[in-house]
Each structure stands twice: as structure tokens, then as C-alpha cells.
């Protein structure tokens, strides 16, 4: 066996890892290799502490916690937006932490989808996460249009999108474009800068769903002139299940009225004037709707500290090293077991996870969990494995692939049904 495929080699890579100490910041289950951080990130000790801190503030200050204490809740969404802006390449005024992914998508589409004349259609893709498509169809229906007004660019291989095909679909009938930054199955990274430029050359506004890229890859939303974006915080950002989402609105659009106005859309200096005519905030805060979910935002306070210390550039570099190493070991160890690597090989196009396909994928995922390796299954035959830069090691990757090899050699997966669980 070549040294490259030994545990000792993985340990050597870990010893040279500039981010290795961040692993100690997270709660890792003993003898468990967690490879599902692209669905739900692990809890960090700092995220846990920031929840305790906010709870203590509630206990001590009660109603005065809105404007008193170490972190006043009234300004928490703006503070977290400022702390997160560097991860998306935005000005602090362009990012606000609020709502959930789909609520924020409804807000932004209702604001920027303005059908007029023959421009009545929304351009999306055929590989997007279902929630985004549900929301787009609902927004079309609210404007009196049927599903035929949603253009979904198809995939030739069922895993990736051709960006030229997307650009070719930017016709004079398109009023708005909404695309993922990273495809949730295959992990393909779309060229947001190129697509934004092409959209604007054709007079079309464009926005991106960053759920599978935020915290894993760098962005330059402001410099790319992206119109808007939205994302969750419970995947690579490690802010916990159901943690508060966030959105970006380019400063070019400050001053427009939010499509879905609400209490916290207000200018903060005027909000408690209690007027029945809204004075929107002059920045991304205008796109909030309801009162901030303070307890669900609390983990982000600690979680984002780790990203500020590690730096998204270093995180991306290690992520690419981890996924490249995983693919290399998979090809060496699993070549006889009919696995197909369906994620992009090219680093520019590869996100933060590996996507394998196998006819027995559902039962293989169950066997992996039985062996204390946590993967992610995607119907009908996909296995997602996400070695996360802040807490996964190269030894984790080695152990994951070796476990998968043992399962296939022993046919241990045959004791499980090849059907997904209720949540997969």
C-alpha cells in the first residue's frame, strides 16, 4: 500500500493543519465520525455559551434587555449581520439576520419580482432544493400566474448545471432569476459573478440561495453586484437546528419598499412612534418582518466568532484539501464497489461536500450510522459526505472511507432496508 492511503499519512496531514485547534471548540461524540455538517453543523462550546449568556440577560434585565445588557436585543440582528458580512463579501449595512430561509426568500421575491409587459417569468433550475421551488410557484400564483411561468433550466447529467444553458435561458420574458450558489446534491459551485453580469446585461435582477455555501466558500456579493441573497445558519455556520436565517440586499436597492412589510421593517428611530405609515429602515433592516427570534439567534453570537478567527480563506483551503483527499481515498479503496463520484472534481466548482451514488445508498447510510459514521442520504441513491474544515480531520476522512469499505466487503448493509428514514 502506498503511504498516501495509510492512517499515518492522514495523521501527518492533521499535524500540518493550520486549523486543527478549532476541532477542540466543538462537542464531538466519542468514536463517532460526523460527516453531515452540510445538513446540521455540530454545536460549538462558544455557541452554547452565547445561549447561556442571552438567557442570563433575559433573567437579569427582563424587558430592559431590549436596550440594556452587554448585547441589547433590539440591535442584535444588525450586530450579527455585521459579524456575518465578511463571509458573503458584503457591507455591514447589506446583511441582516432575520426570519427563516424560505420566509426571507418570500420577502425578497415579493420585493424584486415585478412582472411587467412580456417580462413575467421567473428563471430557476431543475436541481434546486424543493423549498425554493415551492416558494417561487407560490409567488407566481400570488401575481396571478401559473407554473408555466417558472422556467427551470434542466441538467444534462442529473447532477450539475451548465452555466451557458442558464445564460441562454435569460430571455426577454424573464423578470427575475433565483439560483442556488451551491447545488445541494452534487455540491457544484455556480459562477455567481458571471451569472450576475449576464443577468444585468439583459436587464434582469438576480438572487442566490447560499444555504450550502455560506461558511464553506468565500463570496463577494457586493463586488459581484448581486441584487439579493438569502441563507440559513444551521449548516456550515453551526448555529443549531432552526437557528435564525439571514439575507443580503445590495445597497443599490436601499430605499425600495419591502414586499412584505412588518414591525421590524421600520427605521429603528421611528419604530416606536407607532405610526400606521411605515418608515422603512434605510438598509437591509427594511427586509425584516417580525420581532427577532432572540433565543434562536443567540448561538450565532458564539458561532461566528470562530469564523472571524479562522478566516473563510483558510476554511476554504482546508475544505478543498479534505474533499480532494476523500475522493482520492475513495477511488483507491472503493473502486470495485460501484460507487460513482458525482460531485465536480474541479476545485473551482466543488463545494464543501462529496456526493456519491450507489444503488444501495439508503441501506449503506444506515450501515454507516450503525458503525458510528454519520452521512447524509438523498433520494433516490445519493450519499453526501461533508468533511467540515473547522472540526473534521484527515483521520476522520480516512476512517470514514475505511468504514465504508468494510461495510461493502462484509455486505453489512444487507441487514437494512433500502428505504429512506422519515428524516434523511
**Residues marked as binding?**
101-102, 129-132, 209, 212, 234, 263, 291
Q: What single string gives the DSSP state of each residue in 33-67?
A: EE-BTTTSPPPBHHHHHHHHHHHHHHHHHGGGGGT
Q: What is the largest CA-CA distance in the chain?
A: 74
**C-alpha grid cell, residue 352:** 464543501
What are the angstrom distances between the C-alpha of 364 and each of 95, 354, 400?
A: 40, 15, 12
Kindly state the helix (H) or strand (E) to which residue 308 belongs, with its residue range. helix 294-310
Q: How far apart are CA 71 and CA 54, in angstroms?
A: 8
Which residues are within 8 A (CB) of 67 and not within 5 positions of it... i.e. 6 or more apart?
74
- Dihedral of CA atoms 159, 122, 247, 88 in degrees, nearest 10, equals 50
Query: Binding site for pyridoxal 5'-phosphate: residue ranges?
Result: 101-102, 129-132, 209, 212, 234, 263, 291
In the numeric block, which cell numbers belong to residue 107? 420577502
CB neighbour list of residue 161: distance below 8 Å, 6 or more residues apart: 125, 127, 153, 155, 183, 188, 190
Contact (CB, 8 A) for 215 and 307: yes
Take residue 31 and report the three cell numbers written for it.
Answer: 468514536
Alpha carbon of 41 to those of 67, 164, 391, 421: distances in Å? 31, 33, 10, 20
Amino acid at each position: 500500500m502506498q503511504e498516501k492511503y495509510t492512517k499515518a499519512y492522514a495523521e501527518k496531514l492533521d499535524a500540518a493543519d493550520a486549523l486543527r485547534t478549532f476541532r477542540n471548540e466543538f462537542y464531538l461524540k466519542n468514536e463517532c465520525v460526523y460527516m453531515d455538517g452540510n445538513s446540521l453543523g455540530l454545536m460549538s462550546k462558544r455557541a452554547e455559551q452565547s445561549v447561556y449568556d442571552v438567557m442570563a440577560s433575559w433573567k437579569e434585565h427582563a424587558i430592559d434587555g431590549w436596550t440594556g445588557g452587554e448585547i441589547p436585543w433590539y440591535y442584535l440582528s444588525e450586530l450579527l449581520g455585521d459579524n456575518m458580512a465578511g463571509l458573503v463579501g458584503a457591507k455591514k449595512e447589506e446583511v441582516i439576520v432575520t426570519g427563516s430561509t424560505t420566509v426571507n426568500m418570500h420577502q425578497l421575491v415579493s420585493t424584486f419580482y415585478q412582472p411587467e409587459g412580456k417580462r413575467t417569468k421567473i428563471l430557476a433550475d431543475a436541481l434546486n432544493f424543493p423549498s425554493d421551488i415551492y416558494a417561487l410557484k407560490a409567488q407566481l400564483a400570488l401575481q396571478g400566474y401559473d407554473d408555466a411561468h417558472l422556467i427551470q433550466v434542466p441538467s444534462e447529467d442529473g447532477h450539475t448545471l451548465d452555466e451557458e444553458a442558464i445564460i441562454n435561458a435569460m430571455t426577454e420574458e424573464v423578470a427575475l432569476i433565483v439560483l442556488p450558489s451551491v447545488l445541494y446534491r452534487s455540491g457544484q459551485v455556480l459562477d455567481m459573478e458571471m451569472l450576475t453580469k449576464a443577468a444585468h446585461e439583459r436587464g434582469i435582477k438576480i438572487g442566490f440561495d447560499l444555504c450550502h455555501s455560506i461558511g464553506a466558500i468565500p463570496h463577494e456579493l457586493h463586488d459581484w453586484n448581486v441584487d439579493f441573497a438569502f441563507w440559513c445558519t444551521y449548516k456550515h455556520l453551526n448555529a443549531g437546528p432552526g437557528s435564525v436565517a439571514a439575507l443580503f440586499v445590495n445597497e443599490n436597492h436601499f430605499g425600495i419598499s419591502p414586499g412584505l412589510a412588518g414591525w421590524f421593517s421600520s427605521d429603528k428611530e421611528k419604530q416606536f412612534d407607532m405610526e400606521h405609515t411605515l418608515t422603512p429602515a434605510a438598509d437591509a433592516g427594511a427586509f425584516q418582518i417580525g420581532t427577532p427570534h432572540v433565543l434562536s439567534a443567540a448561538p450565532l453570537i458564539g458561532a461566528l466568532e470562530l469564523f472571524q478567527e479562522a478566516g473563510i480563506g483558510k476554511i476554504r483551503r482546508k475544505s478543498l484539501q479534505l474533499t480532494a483527499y476523500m475522493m482520492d481515498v475513495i477511488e483507491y479503496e472503493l473502486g470495485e464497489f460501484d460507487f460513482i463520484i458525482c460531485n465536480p472534481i474541479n476545485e473551482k466548482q466543488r463545494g464543501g461536500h462529496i456526493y456519491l451514488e450507489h444503488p444501495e445508498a439508503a441501506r449503506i447510510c444506515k450501515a454507516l450510522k450503525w458503525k458510528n459514521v454519520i452521512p447524509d442520504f438523498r433520494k433516490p441513491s445519493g450519499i453526501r459526505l461533508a468533511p467540515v474544515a473547522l472540526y473534521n480531520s484527515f483521520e476522520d476522512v480516512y476512517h470514514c472511507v475505511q468504514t465504508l469499505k468494510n461495510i461493502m466487503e462484509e455486505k453489512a448493509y444487507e441487514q437494512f432496508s433500502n428505504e429512506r428514514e422519515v428524516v434523511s
